[in-house]
């Protein structure tokens, strides 16, 4: 194995790929969708998710004003829309229409969901932190739903799980194989 030092900012990419999502927001009848890869579960009780958003983004403005947002989980079938929504601004156009995404009515928030996505989470903002060049929004899950072909208490990956993972720039990946790990042999060896 050959290791080399990398720039600290490149170290952020070492934590990717995580599932890339489409963040929806709305304020005063102005919906928007933004691609986001910098998000993470934060707590089980209460169920919290955190997402990092640059203050210059329209989504930052809409989430700040509405104090709500949606997390929509796409598959590789939507990778072109994912890339489009991550490289174009909602200031200039309706990204739902431009990316060919179908907005659907939400259950607990104002921001629409995305019909083509296999899972949707609706969140209310409970905290916001300004950290360096991004703000960290902490959202509490108010409602969540998932396609049972893809999720049943955990992601289902019989042959492949085609969730979108952003590798950087215009590079994306989907998982092509799931692995099951058993520790029975290791536990048995430790007991002997």
Residue 55, domain CATH: 2.30.110.10
Q: Is residue 151 part of a domain?
A: yes
- Between CA 183 and CA 181 the distance in angstroms is 7
Shortest CA distance to 53 belongs to which of 128, 164, 121? 128
Q: Is residue 2 part of a domain?
A: no
Residue 178 DSSP one-character state: -
Shortest CA distance to 41 belongs to which of 9, 71, 78, 79? 71
Write out pLDDT tens, residues 76-89: 999 999 999 999 99
Q: How many folded domains does the chain comprise?
A: 1
Higher pLDDT, 151 or 34: 34
Q: Is residue 149 part of a domain?
A: yes
3-state secondary structure of 126: strand
3-state secondary structure of 63: helix
Q: Is residue 3 part of a domain?
A: no
Q: Is residue 67 part of a domain?
A: yes
Q: Is residue 42 part of a domain?
A: yes
Whether the per-residue pLDDT at 27 is higher than 90: the answer is yes
Is 0.85 surpassed by the pTM of this model?
yes
Rounded to an integer, what is the distance from CA 77 to the centroid of its chain? Answer: 16
| Residue 77: half-sphere exposure toward Cβ, Cα within 13 Å | 10
Instruction: Give ∠ CA 167-171-174 in degrees, rounded to 5.
Output: 70
Structure tokens at 148: 């049972």
Q: How confident is the model at residue 19 (pLDDT cuts 50, 70, 90)?
A: confident
Q: What average pLDDT is seen over the chain? A: 88
Q: Is residue 1 part of a domain?
A: no
Residue written as tokens 């489009």? 84
- Between CA 102 and CA 110 the distance in angstroms is 15
Q: Which domain holds residue 184?
A: 8-191
Q: What is the mean pLDDT of residues 89-118?
A: 96
């Amino acid at each position: 194995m050959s290791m080399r030092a990398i720039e600290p900012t490149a170290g952020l990419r070492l934590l990717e790929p995580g599932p890339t999502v489409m963040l929806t927001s709305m304020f005063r009848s102005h919906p928007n969708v933004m691609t986001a890869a910098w998000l993470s579960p934060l707590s089980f009780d209460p169920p919290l998710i955190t997402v990092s958003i640059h203050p210059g983004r329209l989504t930052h403005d809409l989430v700040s004003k509405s104090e709500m947002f949606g997390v929509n989980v796409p598959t590789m079938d939507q990778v072109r829309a994912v890339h489009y929504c991550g490289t174009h601004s909602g200031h200039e156009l309706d990204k739902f229409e431009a990316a060919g995404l179908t907005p659907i009515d939400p259950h607990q928030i104002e921001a629409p969901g995305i019909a083509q996505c296999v899972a949707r989470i609706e969140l209310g903002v409970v905290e916001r932190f300004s950290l360096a060049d991004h703000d960290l929004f902490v959202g509490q899950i108010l409602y969540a739903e998932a396609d049972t072909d893809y999720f049943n208490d955990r992601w289902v990956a019989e042959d492949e799980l085609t969730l979108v993972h952003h590798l950087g720039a215009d590079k994306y990946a989907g998982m092509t194989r799931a692995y099951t790990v058993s520790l029975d042999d290791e536990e048995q060896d430790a007991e002997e």
